[in-house]
């Protein structure tokens, strides 16, 4: 699949929301339950909040919100499909660290390089802005953990999350 990674625009809001819902259900239904996943996506990916996040990223060098699409058949434009998206913001306590708050890919294209393309673009765009990237991933998300470890992220801490009682997440970092 040919991929195009670009800055998100407010025209992408609904596609990002749909991609989030698909990927969250595929990754977390067994762990959290479908109803809880719907609640999280509705809260964390509310249309107004996505619009603000995307708008903020378009005007600042220290925030990124990218989408990955497939190139059209002729290879000269964009297909109308969001295969994945990623967002980085400054870590609140240390502005030398970029916090990868979101990197999600539609489950029907898992393993096809979409996540890697998003991550590589983020790293290239932000290497002058941040010294390190940091992220958190649920300990039971084996696919996510494998992806980040293969991309060179190192496990630096484990902490509790408020998504469900007793649920933990791993914190990973990578130097840029």
Residue of 143 and 71 predicted with greater confidence: 143
What is the secondary structure of 5-24 as a DSSP string?
A: EEE--GGGHHHHHHHHHHHH
- Residue 71 has what pLDDT? 62
Q: What is the pLDDT of residues 158-168, one digit of tens each?
A: 999 887 778 89
CA separation, residue 138 to residues 78, 83, 124, 155, 170 (Å):
33, 22, 26, 12, 6
> Is 60 exceeded by the pLDDT of residue 122?
yes
Q: What is the pLDDT of residue 83?
A: 94
Cα separation, 86 vs 113, whole angstroms: 14
Band (78; pLDDT cuts 50, 70, 90): very low
Both structure tokens of 102: 């979101």
Grade residue 80 by pLDDT with cuts at 50, 70 and 90.
low
Answer yes or no: is pLDDT of 81 > 70: yes
**What average pLDDT does the chain have?**
90
- Name the residue among 84, 88, 156 with its Cα closest to residue 126: 88
Q: Is 3 helix (H, G, I), strand (E, B) or coil?
A: strand
Spans of all domains in the chain = 3-175
Which one, of 97, 87, 77, lies nearest residue 118 by Cα? Answer: 87
At the top level of CATH, the class of 3-175 is: alpha beta
- Give the pLDDT score at 161: 87
For 81-153, strand residue ranges (E) read: 84-91, 94-105, 132-138
Percent of the chain topping pLDDT 90: 80
């Amino acid at each position: 699949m040919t991929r195009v990674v670009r800055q998100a625009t407010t025209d992408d809001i609904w596609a990002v929301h749909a991609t989030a819902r698909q990927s969250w259900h595929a990754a977390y239904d067994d762990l959290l339950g479908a109803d809880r996943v719907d609640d999280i996506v509705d809260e964390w990916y509310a249309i107004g909040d996505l619009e603000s996040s995307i708008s903020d990223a378009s005007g600042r060098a220290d925030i990124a919100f990218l989408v990955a699409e497939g190139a059209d058949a002729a290879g000269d434009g964009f297909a109308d499909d969001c295969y994945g998206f990623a967002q980085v913001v400054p870590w609140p306590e240390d502005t030398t660290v970029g916090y990868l708050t979101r990197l999600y890919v539609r489950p029907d294209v898992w393993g096809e390089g979409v996540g890697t393309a998003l991550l590589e673009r983020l790293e290239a765009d932000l290497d002058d802005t941040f010294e390190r990237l940091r992220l958190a991933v649920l300990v039971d998300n084996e696919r996510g953990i494998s992806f980040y470890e293969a991309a060179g992220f190192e496990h630096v801490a484990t902490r509790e999350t408020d998504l469900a009682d007793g649920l933990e997440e791993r914190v990973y970092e990578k130097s840029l």
